[in-house]
Amino acid sequence: MVHYDDYADKKPFIEECDPSFAYMKLIKDDFCYLIDVRSKPEWSFVGIPDSKDMKNEVIFCEWAFYPLMDRNLQFENEIFSKLNFEQTKNLFFICRSGSRSLHAANSIQFHINKKLEMKDKINCFNVKFGFEGDLSKDNRRGNLNGWKFSDLPWKQQ
């Protein structure tokens, strides 16, 4: 089994950006993509970013499979099959709160840098706080930060 920290000794530096910054880039730049790495149940029950004003459709690819959250061993291959890297500049990764997406961004950036030898041509970013945001004091998401809290477009699937 592959663990989230398999690239720990090889991790590139992944910048984090707030959801509003990511969205601004996604609606203005033809070469930017949002990659939602949450699980299928999260997409169904919590909602998804609405790409109606974005230059590109959201790419959905599970980093880990519900309910055991086993790592998707085909994640990198699935992402690479969905992108034309000659027409890609920035990849923005999002999950529930920013943890899985950080691991996913690290993994893809590592492969871009080492395997594809495209370092400095494509940058991966983690969308800080994710889709639902951090837990509030009353153990609820969506009240402090995140995509939904920032009033960015989203919809039920």
Among 129, 81, 133, which residue's Cα sits nearest to residue 102?
129
Does the pTM of the predicted model rise above 0.85?
yes
pLDDT in tens, the chain (157 residues): 344 445 445 556 899 999 999 999 999 999 999 999 999 999 999 999 999 999 999 999 999 999 999 999 999 999 999 998 889 999 999 999 999 999 999 999 998 888 676 666 899 999 999 999 999 999 999 999 999 999 999 999 8
pLDDT tens digit string along 43-71? 999 999 999 999 999 999 999 999 999 99
Pairing of strands 123-127, 90-94: parallel
**CA quadruple 86, 55, 12, 7: dihedral sign:** negative
Tens of pLDDT, residue by residue over 106-115, are 999 998 888 6
In contact, 128 and 16? CB cutoff 8 Å:
yes
As a whole number, the mean pLDDT across the chain is 91
Per-residue DSSP letter, 12: P
Does CATH place domain 15-152 in 3.40.50.2000? no
Domain ranges of the chain: 15-152
Sort 56 into a burial class: Cβ within 10 Å, 0-12 / 13-18 / 19+.
Answer: middle
